[in-house]
Amino acid sequence: MIIFRFIVLLFSLQSFVLDKDEIKAKLNEIIPDEISVDTVEDTYSPNFFSVELSDGSLFYVTADGEFIINGDLYQIEKNSLINFSDIRDSKKRINRILEINPSEFITFEPKEKKTDIYVFTDVDCGYCRKLHSEITNYLENGIQVNYLAYPREGLESDTYQKMKTAWCSKDPQVSLTTLKLGKTIKSDDCTKKIVSKHYNLAKEFNARGTPTIILENGFLLAGYHSAEEILNFLKK
């Protein structure tokens, strides 16, 4: 009975599809005057639109404009679930990353690049050190590694000072590698604010630890992932 009702609902959604302007007009009738509808966008499903309000609220609306879904929307595939919300967030993440001047990254470039990854790293993090110990493997697989600074213990920590030194260094690659080997380098307290900028961006992305890897499509991978795993993710 429940399945039957669900099927009927889907058919009803497909029968009374509103366009984006109609959805926007309907929402404007019910939201407070001080808030506006910023965007109404298609999703991979014809049954739902994604909506963003001027106050940053994000949700889904059924195509007939009758129901709002406040939460994640998943598509069921054969062996997995696709989170539409993460797809939407991925676009925002990669756009924010691409706003950064590339000179602010500590970058390791392959001879033949297949893809970029953006890695929020901490020089005192064990799994960050493991990832960096395999940097040759990433490069041989055509993965360009662009490091961003994320001292997990905050901007008053010893790790912050170490990472600030690496980003201030005349040879950031060597300095970062030295620190990740657990060695010390001469402190450099320059005026650059790159580390704090990256730290705040990681917080914006709700990064919960290090390494946090952002793929070139904006997908976020928490924790260490090998070069082979990253390439497999990009094939999905």
152 assigned to active site: yes
- Pairing verdict, β 143-149 and 115-121: parallel
Q: Catalytic: 128?
A: yes
Q: Please tell me the number of Cα atoms within 13 Å of 209 on its side-chain side.
A: 8
List 64, 88, 93, 125, catalytic entry = 125
Instruction: Determine which one of 64, 122, 124, 129 is catalytic.
Output: 122
> Is 217 in contact with 91 (CB distance < 8 Å)?
no
Q: Out of 128, 129, 188, 189, which one is annotated catalytic?
A: 128
DSSP 139-172: HHTTEEEEEEE--TT-TTSHHHHHHHHHHHSSSH
- Dihedral (Cα; 205, 141, 108, 181), 10-degree rounding: 90
For 187, residues 6+ apart whose C-beta sits below 8 A from its C-beta are: 161, 165
Q: Active site residue: 152, 168, 188, 208, which one?
A: 152
Q: For this structure, is 125 an active site residue?
A: yes
Instruction: Show the tokens assigned to 31.
Output: 């939201």
Provide CB contacts within 8 A for 15, sequence distance 6+. Answer: none
Q: Which residues are catalytic?
A: 122, 125, 128, 152
